């Protein structure tokens, strides 16, 4: 259901800080043309934390509208309040989205039991396939494989996006959850190794600016052509790393603007424009990866 190169799509904003739907439509066309396997709309890279509920829902629905069934769209539905995440999940029931991506609650640092109850309540409120999202570096809490295994017993919890960069978890999660449970990397720098270890793909930041390269790389990897995939990955490695030179999505949004993929590189406070020293770093990474247009 979910595999290959899935993009964690940026949410374009105009100079006034409002959602730029013309640029959003262009991004959807860019990813369809590039062969991206799915779009994740309004995940954390899509600045979900600073969009209003109405904006959040509208961006997802507009992404669906622009996609016109040509590419699956996954809705970001995470929140650190369980009731809020349930609200998002319910809003997308029957919408046409392929599933929901829900991040672990940030700041509150729940126990493993709290995480289990959180995701269980969300899944039970929704008819949609659920992708768990574990990114301890951003949320302050780690969803352990043993808890993932408990959650995998719930019928519509079908996948995890793992951004720990701990490749040993792929085998452990497979042993605990079975072969059918989908494992997606959330770390571009180790994503190809994640697939080599048995993962199914990536939800990628890099794909925002190197969509065709990422799509090709994961198609090669999933067909067992790892030598060819590694050649692409080595070229993209500067991007995998330097798109995090400052907090995501600051660098990738600046890069997308420089490449002409979006009309403006605007972010909402508390995020600010990429600093000048970091701009040089990202520019060099784009050149090294040979993705400058």
203 is in an annotated binding site: yes
Q: Which of 53, 56, 52 is nearest to 9 (CA)?
A: 56
Taking the C-alpha atoms of residue 135 and residue 106, their distance in angstroms, rounded to an integer, is 9
What are the backbone angles phi and psi of residue 6, rounded to the nearest 5°? -105, 130
Q: Would you please indicate which residues are annotated as catalytic (active-site) residues?
A: 133, 161
64-102 burial, b if ≥16 CB within 10 A, otherwise e?
Answer: bebbeeebbbbbbbbbbebeebbbbbebbeeeebbbbbb
Taking the C-alpha atoms of residue 247 and residue 170, their distance in angstroms, rounded to an integer, is 26
Tokens matching residue 91:
């809003």
The Cβ-side half-sphere exposure at 180, using a 13 Å CA radius, reads: 6
45 is in an annotated binding site: yes
| Known binding-site positions for pyruvate | 45, 203
Tell me the binding residues.
Answer: 45, 203
């Amino acid at each position: 259901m979910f595999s290959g190169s899935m993009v964690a799509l940026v949410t374009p904003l105009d100079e006034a800080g409002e959602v730029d739907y013309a640029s959003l439509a262009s991004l959807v066309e860019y990813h369809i043309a590039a062969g991206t396997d799915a779009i994740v709309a309004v995940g954390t890279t899509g600045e979900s934390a600073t969009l209003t509920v109405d904006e959040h829902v509208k961006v997802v629905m507009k992404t669906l509208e622009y996609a016109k069934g040509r590419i699956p769209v996954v809705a970001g539905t995470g929140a650190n309040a369980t009731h809020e995440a349930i609200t998002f999940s319910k809003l997308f029931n029957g919408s046409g989205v392929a599933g929901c991506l829900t991040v672990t609650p940030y700041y509150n640092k729940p126990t493993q039991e709290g995480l289990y109850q959180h995701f269980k309540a969300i899944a039970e409120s929704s008819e949609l396939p659920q992708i768990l999202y574990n990114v301890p570096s951003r949320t302050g809490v780690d969803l352990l494989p043993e808890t993932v295994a408990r959650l995998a017993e719930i019928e519509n919890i079908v996948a995890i996006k793992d951004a720990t960069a701990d490749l040993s978890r792929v085998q452990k999660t497979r042993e605990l959850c079975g072969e059918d449970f989908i494992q997606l990397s959330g770390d571009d720098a180790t994503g190809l190794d994640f697939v080599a270890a048995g993962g199914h793909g990536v939800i990628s930041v890099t794909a925002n600016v190197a969509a065709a390269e990422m799509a090709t790389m994961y198609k090669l990897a999933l067909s067992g052509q790892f030598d060819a995939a590694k050649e692409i990955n080595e070229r993209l490695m500067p991007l995998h790393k330097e798109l995090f030179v400052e907090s995501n999505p600051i660098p990738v949004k600046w890069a997308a603007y420089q490449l002409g993929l979006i009309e403006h590189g605007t972010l909402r406070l508390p995020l600010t424009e990429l600093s000048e020293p970091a701009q040089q770093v990202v520019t060099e990474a784009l050149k090294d990866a040979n993705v400058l247009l």
